[in-house]
């Protein structure tokens, strides 16, 4: 193909190279698997710049999901629990996954059911914004649970905004 997009037809490689040199362009093989191979006459530096520009645009649109952690203790008070629940909700609304950790100290480890009840309470408080990604598990003196944001909620919010516009 020429620099304006027109097809120049089938020609030998030396002739195509000579044509590219005459127009101050590069001969770039676009489809090597095709029979005969498809080549284009274009400015390779400009082509490479356009490709990196497209890749940057694609990466810009992607949201990197982080795993954030919120730590609790088994003897946490109600008000403190509510504050932690609000921070978990905020992180979930931003699109991040949240790891809720109960840290046991001393003899608290003898009552893991207290930690399990706290995690269940957290799940109940977040049921409209989050889904359980990983069930509660005990590792050493920590009990963890991973919550992930509900994708369906985000899409419905976006649809409502589009309808209002």
**The domain containing residue 139 runs over which residues?**
67-156
Q: Are residues 128 and 100 in the same domain?
A: yes
Arithmetic mean of pLDDT over the chain: 85
Residues 41 and 76 placed together within one structural domain of the fold: no
- Whether 134 and 148 map to the same domain: the answer is yes
Q: Which two tokens stand for residue 57?
A: 């645009």
Same domain? For 95 and 135 the reply is yes
What is the arithmetic mean of pLDDT over 63-89? 90
106-164 residue pLDDT tens: 999 999 999 999 999 999 998 888 899 889 999 889 999 999 998 745 554 555 555 56
Q: What is the predicted pLDDT for the residue at 152?
A: 46
The whole-number average pLDDT for the span 77-81 is: 94
Nearest 5°: phi and psi at 47?
-60, -45
Bridge partner residues of 149 (DSSP): 130
Q: Give the pLDDT confidence score for residue 84 in this predicted structure.
A: 94
**CATH classification at residue 41:** 3.10.20.80
Are both 111 and 147 inside the same structural domain?
yes
**Shared domain check, 83 and 33:** no
Look at residue 50 and tell me whether its pLDDT is greater than 60: yes
Compute the distance between CA of residue 122 and CA of residue 119 in angstroms, rounded to an integer.
5
Domain membership of residue 26 (yes or no) is: yes
* Domains of the chain: total: 2
Please check whether residue 87 is in contact with residue 80, taking contact to mean a CB–CB distance below 8 angstroms: no
This prediction has a pTM of 0.56
Residues 37 and 34: their CA atoms lie apart, in Å, by 5
pLDDT value of residue 44: 87
């Amino acid at each position: 193909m020429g620099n304006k997009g027109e097809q120049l037809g089938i020609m030998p490689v030396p002739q195509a190279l000579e044509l590219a040199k005459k127009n101050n362009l590069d001969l770039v093989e676009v489809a090597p698997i095709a029979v005969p191979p498809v080549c284009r006459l274009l400015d390779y530096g400009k082509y490479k710049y356009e490709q990196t520009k497209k890749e940057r645009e694609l990466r810009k649109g992607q949201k990197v999901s982080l795993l954030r952690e919120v730590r609790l203790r088994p003897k946490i008070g109600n008000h403190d629990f509510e504050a932690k629940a609000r921070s978990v909700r905020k992180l979930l609304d931003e699109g991040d996954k949240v790891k809720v950790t109960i840290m046991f100290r001393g003899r608290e480890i003898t009552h893991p059911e207290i930690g399990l009840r706290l995690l269940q309470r957290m799940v109940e408080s977040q049921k409209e914004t989050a889904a359980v990604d990983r069930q509660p598990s005990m590792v050493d003196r920590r009990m963890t649970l991973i919550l992930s944001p509900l994708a369906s909620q985000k899409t419905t919010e976006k649809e409502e905004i589009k309808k209002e516009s």
